[in-house]
Structure formats: C-alpha cells, structure tokens
C-alpha cells in the first residue's frame, strides 16, 4: 500500500528528522583532537536524564540487553545471589541472563500484568540475615505487559530493612519517557537503550552507575572485557573510547538530547502521560481490558490490550501491518495471542496517537471483535481536546 508505514511498537520508536539528519554524515576520525568537547557535554546531559549528580553514565555499543550484561558482570561475583520478580517477558529474560552468568537468582513469580511483589520481597529480605542477596533486580517498565513498577518503593523497602543489596533497574522502555530519579530512588545501576525514549536506532546501551556500584566493580570477579566499566571510564575521561565508537549514533544521541532539553524533561513526561491516557480511554470505550491489573500500574509508554476469547491477537498485528501499513506489538511468551500492544513513546503527538487508535479499530473490526466503530477514537478525541 502506498504511504508511510506507521510505527507504534514500544521500540524502536519513531525517529525525528533532526536526529536522522544528524547521523547522515561522512565517516569521521573518532580519535580526532578535541573530541572531549563533544563527549563531556554529552555525559553531562545524560546525567540530567537519569536525574543524578554523582552517577556515572556509560554508553556501550549494543542494545539494552548488553547494558544488562555489563551491569551484572561488573557489579556481581560468580555465585552471588540476587532477588528478582518475573511478571513479563523482559523480567524473565534478565533472570535467564543471570543464570547463564552463574548468578544465583531467587525468583518470585507473579501473574503477568502484576507488579513488583513488595510484600513477598519484604519477607525474603527480612529473612536474609547474612545478607546473601547482593542485588535486587527491578524492571521499571515491563514492556510486554504495559506495567510500570514503583522503584522508589523498592528502595524504601531496602532502607526500612537496612539491607545492603544493590538496586538494579531495567529502564529500557522508561528512561527518557517516564520520570526517573536515580539519586532520589537510590538506584545503583540503571540500564536503557537508544531505540526507545532516546528516539534513535537500536545500537547503544545507555546506562548509569552509582559511585557505590563503581567501587564494587573494582573487585568483582565475573569475566568481562569489552564491557568493563573502569576501562571505559578511564578512556572516556580523555574524551575517547577504548575501541572504535559508533560516531553516527553518538551524533544522533547528541541531537536527541538537544531536543529533549529544548522540550524539557517534565514536559516530556507530561506528554507521555497525556497520550497514554488517550489510548487507555480508547481501550475502555472498546470494552476491552488492559493486561496491567491495576490503574496504578498503567504504563505511559505502552498499552497492552487483551483481546476477547476466540480471537488471536496475532491476527490484529498482521492485519494492521499488511492492510493498513501500521506496526503494533504482539503478545510475547505467556501472553502470545492474547494481547496486542500499542507503543506510545518517543517522538509522538496527538494526531499520531489518533492514527494508532483508528488503525487499531480497523484491524480489530476486520478480525471480528465486537465493539462500536469510532468509540475509541471518540473517547480519545474527548480527552485530547482538553
């Protein structure tokens, strides 16, 4: 079909023309004199996004998964025990990565659509008298179920119990789109990726590590080379990298941060909330349920919409793509075929989100879901006209 394919998956997200044009450059000398004038302001602006004064940002070539591997191998030792809840595909994947790295994971399984089980965490941590648990892993925004977790509450729990465990946070689909307060929440390492709120192609693992975490990384014994924090930090201080860096992506990151600073972080967070509410109101008007089990868990970057019994949500995703040139996210793992996901993060405005909602109506109607045509669009318009 003629026309542009619309992108409403929860990553990669739409890339602004300014960002794309900033990357459309000839190859350049990544060791040219004066590169520190480019690099140091970039690090300074990343600190603003993570909301940290003392945290150390890192940018590694790779996706968010590589950022997680860097976090685990730099801050933990072989055989260390960590605590994590599994309530979606991405929390599940981080748990599986821990196992592959010979990290002992105590897993608390939660129904998908639920959030961090703080009551169960409190029981486990309070019984950990010898402080064998070295870290607590939290997925801030579980992309597969449209659930945002309360990271601050996890830190409050650790403080209440006077437990020294590090706080690891997966912020891949939240940082840059949902307010994130690294210092205030006492986060020791936060991991994100370039293809979500930073509005870039995939290819950069963007993370930030506390001073406590950096000190621990000096003596941790899990193997690492390419992703060594201290090797990277030592060379970064001079404005360079220990190996060839992806300069087009870094130029794009510079322009993305320019755009974010121009709009203002608080305005970005408000915009994401406003647009998310439009999708949520549309879903309610269709008479459908969201995977997130409670309104307090609703994500501002992705809405996971349950489909009626007898409907395969994969058909909605295929119809939207093949017939209407629009990409939605499908259900993953336990929720495969049971839901589809509308991503609403990054470079996005009201008319774009109305396009997503109206296309969802077309695709749902085509696959036989019973609802009043136009009801979701109307509900969204009533919200967006405010």
For 90-149, what is each residue's pLDDT tens digit? 999 999 999 999 999 999 999 999 999 999 999 999 999 999 999 999 999 999 999 999
- Backbone φ/ψ region at 255: left (φ over 0), alpha (ψ -120 to 50), beta: alpha
**Which tokens hold the place of 230?**
């201290």
pLDDT in tens, 174-233: 999 999 999 999 999 999 999 999 999 999 999 999 999 999 999 999 999 999 999 999
Tell me how far CA of residue 64 lies from CA of 74, 130, 142, 196, 207, in angstroms.
Answer: 15, 32, 13, 10, 9
pLDDT in tens, 293-344: 999 999 999 999 999 999 999 999 999 999 999 999 999 999 999 999 999 9
- Residue 1 pLDDT greater than 90, yes or no: no
Find, among 49, 113, 151, the residue nearest to 302 by Cα: 113
For residues 301 and 345, the answer to whether their CB atoms sit within 8 Å is yes
User: How far is Cα 237 from Cα 235, in angstroms, rounded to an integer?
Assistant: 5
pLDDT at res. 382: 98
pLDDT in tens, 246-266: 999 999 999 999 999 999 999
Q: How confident is the model at residue 362 (pLDDT cuts 50, 70, 90)?
A: very high
User: How far is Cα 264 from Cα 258, in angstroms, rounded to an integer?
Assistant: 10
- Backbone φ/ψ region at 39: left (φ over 0), alpha (ψ -120 to 50), beta: alpha
User: How far is Cα 210 from Cα 186, in angstroms, rounded to an integer?
Assistant: 9
361-370 as b/e: b if 16+ CB within 10 A: bebbeebebe
Q: Which helix (H) or strand (E) holds 348?
A: none
Q: How confident is the model at residue 3 (pLDDT cuts 50, 70, 90)?
A: confident
- Residue 386 pLDDT greater than 90, yes or no: no
CB within 8 A of 95, min separation 6: which ones? 84, 86, 105, 107, 137
Domains and CATH numbers, the chain: 6-12+265-384 (3.90.1150.10), 17-262 (3.40.640.10)
């Amino acid at each position: 079909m003629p026309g542009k394919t619309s992108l409403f998956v929860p990553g990669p997200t739409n890339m602004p023309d300014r960002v794309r044009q900033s990357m459309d450059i000839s190859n350049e000398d990544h060791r040219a004199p004066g590169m520190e004038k480019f690099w140091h302001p970039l690090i300074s602006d990343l600190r603003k996004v993570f909301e940290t004064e003392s945290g150390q940002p890192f940018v590694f070539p790779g996706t968010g998964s590589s950022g997680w591997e860097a976090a685990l191998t730099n801050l933990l030792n072989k055989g260390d025990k960590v605590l994590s809840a599994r309530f979606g595909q991405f929390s599940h994947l981080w748990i599986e990565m821990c196992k592959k790295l010979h990290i002992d994971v105590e897993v608390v399984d939660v129904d998908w659509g639920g959030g961090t089980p703080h009551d169960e965490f409190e029981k486990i941590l309070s019984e950990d008298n010898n402080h064998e648990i070295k870290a607590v892993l939290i997925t801030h925004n579980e992309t597969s179920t449209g659930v945002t977790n309360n990271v601050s509450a996890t830190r409050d729990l650790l403080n209440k119990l006077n437990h020294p465990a590090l706080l690891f946070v997966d912020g891949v689909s939240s940082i840059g789109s949902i307010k994130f307060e690294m210092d205030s929440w006492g986060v020791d390492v936060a991991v994100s990726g370039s293809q979500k709120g930073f509005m870039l192609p995939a290819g950069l693992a963007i993370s930030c590590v506390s001073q406590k975490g950096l000190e621990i990384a000096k003596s941790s014994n899990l193997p690492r080379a390419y992703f060594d924090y201290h090797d990277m930090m030592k060379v970064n201080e001079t404005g360079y990298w220990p190996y060839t860096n992806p300069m087009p992506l870094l130029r794009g990151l510079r322009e993305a941060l320019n755009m974010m600073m121009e709009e203002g972080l608080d305005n970005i967070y408000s915009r994401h909330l406003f647009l998310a509410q439009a999708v949520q109101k549309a879903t309610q008007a269709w008479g459908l349920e969201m995977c997130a089990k409670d309104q307090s868990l609703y994500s501002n970057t992705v809405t996971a919409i349950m489909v009626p019994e007898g409907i395969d949500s994969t058909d909605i995703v295929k119809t939207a793509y093949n017939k209407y040139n629009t990409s939605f996210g499908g259900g993953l793992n336990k929720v495969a075929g049971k839901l589809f996901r509308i991503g609403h993060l990054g470079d996005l405005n009201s008319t774009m989100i109305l396009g997503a909602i109206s296309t969802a109506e077309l695709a749902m109607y085509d696959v036989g879901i019973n609802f009043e045509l136009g009801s979701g669009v109307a509900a969204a318009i009533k919200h967006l006209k405010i």
